[in-house]
Amino acid sequence: MKTIIFLAIMCAAVIAAPQQHPNEITIVRQEENNNIGVDGYHYSYEQSDGQKKEETGELQNQGTEQETIVVRGFFSFMGADGKTYKVEYTADADGFHPVVSVA
């Protein structure tokens, strides 16, 4: 449950982050497959400024005391230095596990 709350706060912070030219940025691709409460979910999007995000959540050990949602995904963006930053992550019963790369 702590993982889900952490991810919700993190997503809200990313969404609320100010953009330099918010009127010029558009979503160029979006995909959603929300099957809330049964098998999991999947969504992804790409913005005109190159930002990308993809996430999949799967319910594991359904109906047991070890029931948990495992989330896997990534987000990427171009920094002010012109480099592309990518964060790939897994969030599970053991916590949030990010891996950052720069290209």
| Inter-residue contact 72 to 62 (CB < 8 Å) | no
Tokens 């997503």 belong to 11
Tens digits of residue pLDDT in 43-91: 999 998 889 999 999 988 888 888 888 999 999 999 999 999 999 999 9
Global pTM value: 0.67
Provide the b/e sequence for 28-47 (b: ≥16 CB within 10 Å). Answer: eeeeeeeeeeeebbbebbbb
